[in-house]
Amino acid sequence: MMETRMNPDQPADLPMPLQASQTKPRIVIDTNVCLDLFVFRDPRWASLMSALQSGAVEAVTRADCRQEWQMVLHYSHLPVTDDTRPACNAEFDALITCLEAEALSPRPGIRLPICTDRDDQKFLELALGANATILITKDKALLKLARKTAKAGLFAIVAPQAWNPAGT
* Domains of the chain (ranges, CATH numbers): 21-167 (3.40.50.1010)
Residue 162, CA distances (Å) to 8, 17, 45, 108 in order: 34, 28, 10, 30
Residue 99 three-state SS: strand
pLDDT tens for the chain, 168 residues: list them.
333 223 333 333 323 344 444 589 999 999 999 999 999 999 999 999 999 999 999 999 999 999 999 999 999 999 999 999 999 999 999 999 999 999 998 888 899 999 999 999 999 999 999 999 999 999 999 999 999 999 999 999 999 999 988 876
In this structure, are residues 136 and 29 in contact, taking their beta carbons and an 8 Å threshold?
yes
Pairwise CA distance, residues 42 & 162, whole Å: 15
**pLDDT score for 119:** 95
**pLDDT score for 1:** 37
**pLDDT score for 133:** 97
If we measure between CA atoms, which residue out of 153, 125, 119, 154 comes closest to residue 139? 119
The pTM score is: 0.85
**pLDDT score for 13:** 32
Pairwise CA distance, residues 57 & 19, whole Å: 12
In this structure, are residues 94 and 118 in contact, taking their beta carbons and an 8 Å threshold?
no
